[in-house]
Structure 1
């Protein structure tokens, strides 16, 4: 069997992607089954987490859609559920009547923090035994580099 150095670049890229994807699926399944997500499903938490990172407090629905792995219609329904539960507030964008702005309510912010603290502990319990601190830093560097290259390609299209 030939070593990795003699593989075609296309095959190596496909194997790299499959490894990344399979690892992400396995990690997410493990994390989703943990105690942190008993109060709120992970996709709803993802919305709260993304809104908690917004410096202005408000984020456009279409910008939120850029950060989550849901279709626009699924995200709209999810946001409606979160609004009914009192976790997010929305208002029309002042400069664009069609746009919608979202923000966390106080209750949403508290729930995000509560789940987030437990989620961080679950992540640490999963990652720390598997990867040294140096490996964690290298994995972060590589995934950031890959994600950054995607943004550059979108801009050049």
Structure 2
């Protein structure tokens, strides 16, 4: 056996670990949704702005953006319309596919995302920063990435 292959975990170990991870996420998300920065936008709306900001070239088709979010395509479409009505996002024809539209942040959307983001990272650090050591956070990131890569 090489150093890169590991025996599969047992059913009990897999489900116990998943349950612990899920319960931790629920507890953290309850705290996050109550953070004051989400009085300006919902956490899901902020997630759309954040993901648009991190897209290559700052633009994304709706179908591609939807792959990064935990929301249905129809719900995302309605949310984008609301964000567009608020002047936070804009739709433009996709130069590579004239049937599709690309989404991007407006200057107002970019500023609001940055404003909320600055507060959000401070609050996240206050909430979680003392829960693990720096090495443990690196390991959590490594393991989380490994899990994500395994299911994609």
TM-score computed with the length of structure 1 as normaliser: 0.88
State the Cα distance separating 1:55 from its structure 2 match.
2.6
1:14-53 alignment, distance < 5 Å: 14-53=15-54
State the Cα distance separating 1:98 from its structure 2 match.
3.2
State the Cα distance separating 1:96 from its structure 2 match.
2.4
Q: What SS is found at the alignment partner of 2:55?
A: coil
Deviations 1:19-72 (A, max 9, x none): 111111111110110111110100000000000111312111101000000000
1:65-80 alignment, distance < 5 Å: 65-80=66-81
RMSD of the TM alignment (CA)? 1.2
**Structure 1 stretches lacking a partner, 5+ long:** 1-7, 152-157
State the Cα distance separating 1:12 from its structure 2 match.
1.3
| Matched residue, 2:107 | 106
| Matched residue, 1:3 | none
Q: What SS is found at the alignment partner of 2:151?
A: helix
Further displaced range: 21-30 or 45-54: 21-30
Instruction: Provide the C-alpha distance between the structure 2 equivalents of 1:21 and 1:92, rounded to a whole number of angstroms.
Output: 39
| Matched residue, 1:96 | 97
Q: What SS is found at the alignment partner of 1:59?
A: strand
Q: What SS is found at the alignment partner of 1:56?
A: helix
State the Cα distance separating 1:83 from its structure 2 match.
0.2
**Structure 2 stretches lacking a partner, 5+ long:** 1-8
